[in-house]
């Protein structure tokens, strides 16, 4: 499975591509960081990011795009810009029929390092080791993009099993509801016949 990882951001947006193999084997395909100047108009910055992401999608043909889920209770302005960058990339993927999955920073860190509170240097170090890279990807946005791709590659089988289990549970629940409704209808019909006068019951019996 080929996964495109995206560490969204306006000033720096990390993009990474990995191929997953047997088990937990992953191979780096490409990594880069899209930069936009802060003095550029917001719409123009988003256009640059979207254009770069679209070129990557058309060039590398990922089967899924994994984007970091953005949330923060501190710098709202920064978070809005980051979310907008992730949004235009998600839109580009949707237009190409590429599934998009979102992973939280703690999920990514936990998958790559085993610690959901790991620092950026630890993430970079583990990404370098997992992908057997000669040099650590820089800046950290590049390593984070690869970490997102690795995280999805490893979490995808579990997510698929959970989705299958949820679907099976819904089918079983629907069958149970259908059977229960049939039982209740039969009980109501029996109760109605029992409450009818004896003459009506005999007449109903002769009609049958």
Q: Find out whether 7 is annotated in a ligand binding site.
A: yes
Q: Identify the active-site residue in 41, 141, 164, 196.
A: 141
Measured over the CA atoms of residue 43, residue 69, residue 125 and residue 117, the dihedral's sign is positive
Q: Identify the active-site residue in 41, 68, 115, 144.
A: 68
Residue 68 annotated as catalytic: yes
- b/e per residue, 108-138, with b = 16+ CB within 10 A? bbbbbbeeeebeeeebbbbbbebbeeeeebe
Q: Find out whether 19 is annotated in a ligand binding site.
A: no
Listed residue (185, 3, 197) closest to 93, CA to CA = 3
Q: Identify the active-site residue in 7, 19, 32, 54.
A: 7
Residue 7 annotated as catalytic: yes
Element (H, E) at 79: helix 76-95
Q: Find out whether 32 is annotated in a ligand binding site.
A: no
Rounded CA separation 198/133 (Å): 88
Which residues carry a binding-site annotation?
A: 7, 68, 141
Which residues carry a binding-site annotation for Mg(2+)?
A: 7, 68, 141
Residues tagged active-site: 7, 68, 141
């Amino acid at each position: 499975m080929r996964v495109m990882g995206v560490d969204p951001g306006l000033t720096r947006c990390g993009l990474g591509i990995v191929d997953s193999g047997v088990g937990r084997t992953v191979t780096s395909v490409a990594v880069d960081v899209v930069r936009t100047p802060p003095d550029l108009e917001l719409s123009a910055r988003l256009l640059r990011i979207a254009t770069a992401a679209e070129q990557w999608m058309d060039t590398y043909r990922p089967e899924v795009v994994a984007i970091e889920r953005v949330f923060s209770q501190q710098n709202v302005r920064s978070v809005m810009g980051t979310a907008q960058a992730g949004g235009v990339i998600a839109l580009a993927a949707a237009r190409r029929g590429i599934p998009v999955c979102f992973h939280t920073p703690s999920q990514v860190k936990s998958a790559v390092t085993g610690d959901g509170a790991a620092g950026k240097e630890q993430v970079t170090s583990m990404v370098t080791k997992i992908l057997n890279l000669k040099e650590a990807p820089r800046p950290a946005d590049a390593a984070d993009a690869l970490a997102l791709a690795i995280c999805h590659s490893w979490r995808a089988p579990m997510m698929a099993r959970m989705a299958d289990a949820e679907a099976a549970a819904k089918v079983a629940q629907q069958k149970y509801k259908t059977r229960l409704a049939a039982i209740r209808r039969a009980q109501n019909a029996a109760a109605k016949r029992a409450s009818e006068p004896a003459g009506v019951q005999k007449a109903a019996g002769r009609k049958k």
